[in-house]
Structure 1
Amino acid sequence: MTPFEAATHADPYVYYSRLRRQNGLSFDADLRLWVASDAQAVETILAHPDCRVRPLNEPIPPAIAQGIAGGIFGRLMRMNEGARHLCPRMAIEPALRSIETENIAEMVSRVVETLDNPLENPDELMFTLPVSVMAGLIGLPSSRLREVAGLVRDFTACLSPLSDAAQLGAAHCGATRLSELFTQLLRSDAESSRFLRHILSSGEAIDWSDHDALIANLIGLLSQTCEATAGLIGNTLVTLHRNPGLIADMHTTPKLVADLVAEVARYDSPVQNTRRFVAKRCTVRGNVLAAGDTVLLLLASANRDSYANPDPDSFLLKRTQRRTFSFGSGRHECPGQQLALTIACEAISVWLHRYTAQADHPCRWSYLPSLNGRIPKFYRGQENEQ
């Protein structure tokens, strides 16, 4: 197994444990990159100023560099350093923090009524619901939410090196249409969304008024909501299927759903790994990393490190001082972490409310092809796994 294959393996955690025991930071000669597998190494690399989110000589992947999806990619705060990272983050992060849980619950209730049987079709719950909620919070009209969810799934193909030419073509088309929708919103309907007004106000306060970067990062919010939250919801459903007793616990004590989702984020991370690129020669834990080196950070492995979480291989709803690297840490820690957890919590609550033990719910799954994401695909009755 390689660290990339582990992301979608049925159970990668024994493999991760072996890596941690061998060395928390080691060079893989076959993959020609460094692998950080324990919590200390992952935390150190994520915080290191010379370990960047993109290679200095390749700010945009060559496969998408010439299209509109590449233009959006190049403006995403999570794919940049310095001002191009900090300015949009300073505008968007306070708005994300301002969203109240009650607003999410209300939005989820409205969106659920438009879904196609989310209990029997988990795809709707995992992908359509979170993106629709985020798009609604931004201010896109309710009549466009399902369209937007499809466009965002198309766009996220540009983020994966596994995507083929047809998928990348769809990503560029999706990016074009999303840009059009946000341009229309900013021209006419910005006042209808408290969330968007907050972003615009924060941007004015720091003298940030980059229209193209704003649109790119609004699309970025949707794309991050799409895959990471889909994986979080899906892996929570996997946990419930594997541990039916938890379903009874959730019905008895609904407040435990928040603990369930938070522990799933640690125990079976939707984002298994991420990368950093060394901009300048540096030394980390006695290892010399040269400029141009790549470091693969196994976030899911760090979550299972006893240094960060005692008794890491036990699933504990009431885990104290839980540490989760699934959303990163340091200057690029995901600013939407709490929002993702809240949306996932509300989605699972919907599933639990409609769940009946006697019904024939999808209970087999495999994982969607990915080098870093862990997103289950569920199968109904006679469907065959691909």
Structure 2
Amino acid sequence: MYFDPIAAVTQNDPYPGYAALAAQSELVFDGERKLWLAGSPALVRAVMDNPACRVRPVAEPVPSAIAGGSAGQVFGLLVRMNDGARHAAPKLVLQRALAALSLDEARQRAASLAQALLAGAGEAVALSGVHGRTGTASLAAGAARLDGRCLSAWTFDVPVQTVASLLGFAPSQLPALSLWMRQFVACLSPLSGPEQLALAQHAAQCLLDSFSDLLRSAPPAADSLLGAVLAEAEAAGWNHAQAILANLVGLLSQTYEATAGLIGNAIVALLQAPQRASEGGLALVRDVALNDPPIQNTRRFVAEATRIGSVDLQPGDVVLLVLAAASRAANQAFGFGHGAHACPGQTLAATIAAAAIDVLLQAQTLEKGMYEWCYRPSHNARMPEFFNPGEAA
């Protein structure tokens, strides 16, 4: 039976198929998808370490659907969407800035926002009458559970608002930033239609304008994340103002989906085995990053003839790195990248996700059957959407 590695991302249990792929010692050609598959840890590392395998096609550094607009401008300048010299210096800047961030402060900020957003979501649902239909009351009033759709929104809002707060945005600005980021990430998906792409272009400009205003409003605190990014950029001689703005937006966009996926998949793990609550947020999040990661695959585009194992690759070939397969096999969270493209925000993402889970567990008990879920349509990101039992997905 054909195992579709793209469709697997949103299936309930793709892991038997992933395990079979991880056992393959050579690249496998997928005739249906017209690409090569790498699922073993050794192959994933080999492709990621090969300079001939790029993060974007040589002829299309920016997807044609968004080229020419604000979203395309941001996309083309993102560190993670570039290789070589355009990648190295900016990545070093972000690595050093994130390494200087106090994880205790990040944890406290995430916990505070998670609590506030939970209370706000509970109050909003109570006012809308949804809880009246389901027989539960607002979390703020000591509810047994939050409405499932509000829980889904919470998993996305907590991480993006935490990072935005650490960068220096005021509390009153955070809801708008969440909305724009939700609209902007549509430009990163091949599943988005014209209306979504138009909203993404508008949102990208709003995000760029917000960061420009933040930079102009007052000198950032030296110990803030924004202050650290600017100081490290100056030290590294990275003085490309638009690229800096784009990668500040990028900090939020990577946080929005990847960290939200960590939180959501950790909630799924708890709903399947409520006794795991005793493990605590951080242990649970680390396990999820290995065994049910939010980023399940990524692509590499062959720019020049090269060889991986015994397979000769030619310019124009595409390799799908099935990160979820390799992660389980190697006990390494490949969803956060490897080598030159290892994500500098891995520790921060785990810290935020763990704080959110701990807050949720303090606010309510998670039990089997409390929520149902499905996975958002995506080619590479595994992100659950929750809803109340008996409601349509």
Q: Give TM-score scaled by structure 1 length.
A: 0.90
From 24, 27, 52, the equivalent of 1:25 is 27
Cα separation, partners in 2 of 1:109 and 1:23, compared to 1, 3 Å: closer
- Give the count of matched residue pairs: 363
1:357 Cα shift? 5.6
Q: Cα deviation per residue 1:17-54 (whole Å; 9 max; x = unaligned)?
A: 22234554111122111110111101111111111100
From 257, 265, 270, the equivalent of 1:235 is 265
1:101 Cα shift? 2.1
| Aligned counterpart, 2:106 | 104
1:232 Cα shift? 0.6
Contact 1:257 1:349 in 2 (8 A): yes
**1:166 is aligned to 2:168:** no
1:8 Cα shift? 0.7
Contact 1:362 1:378 in 2 (8 A): no
| Aligned counterpart, 1:328 | 337
1:84 Cα shift? 1.9
From 294, 298, 305, the equivalent of 2:322 is 298
| Aligned counterpart, 1:197 | 227
Cα separation, partners in 2 of 1:32 and 1:356, compared to 1, 3 Å: closer
Q: Cα deviation per residue 1:194-231 (whole Å; 9 max; x = unaligned)?
A: 21111111111111111110110010110000000111
From 260, 279, 284, the equivalent of 1:260 is 284
**1:210 is aligned to 2:240:** yes
Secondary structure of the 2:245 match is helix
Q: Cα deviation per residue 1:326-363 (whole Å; 9 max; x = unaligned)?
A: 111010111100000000000000011112368x9852
**1:384 is aligned to 2:386:** no
1:91 Cα shift? 1.6
| Aligned counterpart, 1:356 | 365
- Cα distance between partner residues in 2 of 1:189 and 1:225: 25
Aligned-residue sequence identity (percent) comes to 42
Equivalence map 1:41-190=2 (5 Å): 41-115=43-117, 116-117=121-122, 120=146, 121-190=150-219
The two structures, once aligned, show a CA RMSD in angstroms of 1.7
Give the letter aligned to residue 279 of structure 1: A
| Aligned counterpart, 1:286 | 310
From 3, 6, 31, the equivalent of 1:4 is 6
- Cα distance between partner residues in 1 of 2:293 and 2:366: 26
Give the letter aligned to residue 210 of structure 1: H
| Aligned counterpart, 2:142 | none
Contact 2:24 2:40 in 1 (8 A): no
Equivalence map 1:214-229=2 (5 Å): 214-229=244-259
Cα separation, partners in 2 of 1:361 and 1:169, compared to 1, 3 Å: farther
| Aligned counterpart, 1:40 | 42
- Cα distance between partner residues in 2 of 1:181 and 1:340: 23
Structure 1 stretch displaced more, 375-384 or 154-163: 375-384
- Cα distance between partner residues in 2 of 1:231 and 1:190: 33
Structure 1 stretch displaced more, 140-149 or 191-200: 191-200
1:110 Cα shift? 3.0
Q: Cα deviation per residue 1:32-79 (whole Å; 9 max; x = unaligned)?
A: 111101111011111111111001111000111121101110000000
| Aligned counterpart, 1:346 | 355
- Cα distance between partner residues in 2 of 1:190 and 1:158: 31
Give the letter aligned to residue 212 of structure 1: Q
- Cα distance between partner residues in 2 of 1:175 and 1:354: 34
From 368, 383, 387, the equivalent of 1:375 is 383
Give the letter aligned to residue 81 of structure 2: M
Cα separation, partners in 2 of 1:361 and 1:29, compared to 1, 3 Å: closer
More helix by share: 2
Give the letter aligned to residue 371 of structure 1: H
Contact 1:139 1:189 in 2 (8 A): no
- Cα distance between partner residues in 2 of 1:199 and 1:278: 32
| Aligned counterpart, 2:136 | none
- Cα distance between partner residues in 1 of 2:390 and 2:357: 25
- Cα distance between partner residues in 1 of 2:168 and 2:22: 45
Q: Give TM-score scaled by structure 2 length.
A: 0.89
Contact 1:271 1:373 in 2 (8 A): yes
Secondary structure of the 1:275 match is strand
Give the letter aligned to residue 324 of structure 1: A
Secondary structure of the 2:116 match is coil
Contact 1:55 1:277 in 2 (8 A): yes
User: Which segments of 5 or more consecutive residues in structure 1 lack a partner in the other structure?
Assistant: 251-255, 310-322
Secondary structure of the 2:45 match is helix
User: Which segments of 5 or more consecutive residues in structure 2 lack a partner in the other structure?
Assistant: 123-138, 140-144
Instruction: Spell out structure 1 runs of 4+ moving beyond 3 A.
Output: 20-24
